[in-house]
Amino acid sequence: MVFTDKIESKLFHLNDLLKRIEFWRRLGDKIVFTNGCFDILHQGHARLLASCSEMGERLVIGLNSDTSVKRLKGEGRPVNDQQSRAVLLAALQFTDAIVIFEEDTPETLIHAIKPDILVKGGDWKPEEIAGSSFVKSYGGQVKVVPYLNGFSTTGIIERANQ
């Protein structure tokens, strides 16, 4: 199926992703990286990812694994498993690549990818963003996209449980 092929072509293991990034860089493409749990995809996520896609030619998303989300967010999370979350992110037109990571932060991933621009949502200060000092050390940029009030996965879950 064409749709499935398009989605699958955006899901990478790290070694394969690094080869693809090397190819994109030879084309002169700027690599933008963001990460998160993306447990229940909502308007805040969509705006963050759309903003990221406008900052460069290629958007790479680091996706917390199920075990990582559980450690960070607690029992009952994630609501959607990592494969479901990855497929939804891959279905977005501005997503170029998704890589799942097991750690609590994407620090190791950022060191491997060396993005031109590292982006997080407005609930983060630039100096608090994992990998920010590393990205700045080689001349990369760290950007914060304004937070969209009222849109969070935790808030959605709380409203659904009322």
pTM of the model: 0.90
pLDDT of 2? 47
pLDDT of 149? 64
pLDDT of 1? 45
pLDDT of 86? 96
pLDDT of 21? 98
Structure confidence by residue, pLDDT tens digits, 109-144: 999 999 999 999 887 888 899 999 999 999 999 999
- ∠22-26-32 over CA atoms, to 5°? 60
Q: In the chain, which stretches have pLDDT less than 50?
A: 1-2
Strands 31-36 and 11-12: unpaired
Task: Indicate the residue type of 24.
Answer: W
Fold of 2-160: Rossmann fold (3.40.50)
> Whole-angstrom Cα distance, residue 99 to residue 45?
17
Q: Which residue has the tokens 């903003």?
A: 51
Domain boundaries, the chain: 2-160
Nearest one of 7, 72, 60, 57 to 34, comparing CA atoms: 60
pLDDT of 80? 93
Q: Which residue has the tokens 């991933």?
A: 109
DSSP assignment of 54-105, as one string?
Answer: TSSSEEEEEEE-HHHHHHHH-TT--SS-HHHHHHHHHTSTT--EEEEE-SSS
